[in-house]
Amino acid sequence: MPTEVSGALDGNDFYYDPMPGPAFAEALHALRRHGPVVPARALGGALPIFYIVGYQALAEAFQDGERFPPHHAYQIISQPFIGETFMSMPPERHRAWRPAMTPAFRRPVVEALPDAELAAVAHALLDDCEAAGEADLVPAFTHRFAFAVICRLLGLPREREAEFYDWSMDLMFGGRDLEKSRAADAVFTDYVRPVLDARRREPRDDVISGWLDAHVRGEFEQEPITDEAILAHLRLFFTAGATTTSDALGNLVHALLSHPDAWQACVSEPARCADAVEELLRWNPPVAAQPRFSRPDAEVDFHGQRMRPSSAVLFGIAAANRDPDVFPDPDRFDLERRPVELLTFGPGLRTCPGMHLARKNLRVALGVLCERLPALRLLDPDACAPRGVLLRGPRTLPARWT
């Protein structure tokens, strides 16, 4: 008989708790013992949630726009802070807007982007710190690389790149601190508006110029693209795109340097970098869980749980990617693994538009690290383990290579 959520099955808070290192996987395995969809707690117990921890259940949920309408979640969680984007639009408008707003992120376009151009970004960052022989790779490399790339594609300047990660986190998690979110939005908007004006006067080969040109050519005749729509989509790609790739790169570095044989395999055989990226996206994805809501107008029965309208649901990507029924020995980081279809990028109705660029960024950045710093090692792997239960990544990566 389906049940309504009445309390958490354990004491973990799946919004606030950091759960560094293996503690997170252990907590998810404990939930999974109760079924593929289980009640859990968040926001200090103020928010009862359903956590989808089974691979098959999550694959089904991602495709089920009737019981879990994806735009409903984006309207509640992100639209108040970044504005309306194609991710928060209902299905018909989503289908109209998404192709026009994402041409630079389509697979053929990303594959045509020369690796050498991305590698040049990584080399420039390492030029700034290599001679010192040691550095914290988070502020020196992992938090800067993806933002440098996304700013290049969008057409944004990089003068304040040291602040980009903090801006994006404050925008993405505005509900935690509204004042910080508003302050970040004001700074970001002031940073971007002069770029829009400049691209109108003198277009370039970048995403902003393409959006403005699409408007001029009438591709948005039914619903003209406004400056606010452009700003909202810039916030979307700046936050969801660059932040998650930054965290993924930090997770990748930590995973490989915590498994020296895997690191040496990538150093010795650069082609193994692609294997490392795919295994990292399974083993420790940067988006550990996506918040969603059940349909707002009716109860939902799903894998033994009855959900009231608009029940909070966590799409447990990290949990599903370690489901032992699908991934044997799931807690082992293994470059020889050939994963089945990963759920990391949210396959289905609102799949991540930046997934092709993310994979390429990770592969190229790792290749440059292996080439430039083959003796790279973490000073304290346990102390800098990735943390977080929604977005997951290391806060620090002190390392040495001499």
> Quick one: fold of 23-400?
Cytochrome p450 (1.10.630)
- State the helix-helix crossing angle for 272-283 and 355-372, rounded to 10 degrees: 120
One-letter-per-residue 3-state SS of the chain: CCECCCCCCCCCECCCCCCCCCHHHHHHHHHHCCCCEEEEEEHHHCEEEEEECCHHHHHHHHHCCCCCCHHHHHHHHCHHHHCCCCCCCCHHHHHHHHHHHCHHHCHHHHHHCCHHHHHHHHHHHHHCCHHHCEEEHHHHHHHHHHHHHHHHHHCCCCCCHHHHHHHHHHHHCHHHCHHHHHHHHHHHHHHHHHHHHHHHHCCCCCHHHHHHHHHHCCCCCCCCCCHHHHHHHHHHHHHHHHHHHHHHHHHHHHHHHCCHHHHHHHHHCCCHHHHHHHHHHHHCCCECCEEEECCCCCCEEECCEEECCCCEEEECHHHHCCCCCCCCCCCCCCCCCCCCCCCCCCCCCCCCCCHHHHHHHHHHHHHHHHHHCCCCEECCCCCCCCECCCECECCCCEEECC
CA 318 – CA 391 distance, rounded (Å):
10
Of residues 44 and 283, which shows the higher confidence score?
283
User: Looking at the chain, how many residues does it have?
Assistant: 402
Q: What are phi and psi of 391, to 5 degrees?
A: -100, 140
Q: What is the mean pLDDT of residues 70-97?
A: 91
Q: Please determine, for residue 129, whether its predicted confidence score (pLDDT) is greater than 90.
A: yes
- How many CB atoms within 10 Å of residue 277? 22
Q: What is the pLDDT of residue 360?
A: 97
Question: How does residue 174 score in pLDDT terms, banded at 50, 70 and 90?
Answer: low
- State the helix-helix crossing angle for 178-201 and 207-216, rounded to 10 degrees: 70
**So where are the chain's domains?**
23-400
Q: What are phi and psi of 312, to 5 degrees?
A: -75, 135
Asked if residue 96 lies in contact with residue 220, where contact means CB atoms within 8 angstroms, the answer is no
Q: What is the pLDDT of residue 221?
A: 58
Q: What is the pLDDT of residue 9?
A: 56
Q: What is the mean pLDDT of residues 163-171?
A: 88
CA 54 – CA 67 distance, rounded (Å):
17
Q: Please determine, for residue 175, whether its predicted confidence score (pLDDT) is greater than 90.
A: no
Question: What mean pLDDT value characterizes the chain?
Answer: 92
> What is the tens place of the pLDDT at every residue in 182-204?
888 999 999 999 999 999 999 99
Find all residues with CB under 8 Å of 235, minimum gap 6, and list them: 81, 82, 83, 85, 171, 185, 188
Token pair of 227 as six digits: 């400056």
Question: How does residue 217 score in pLDDT terms, banded at 50, 70 and 90?
Answer: low
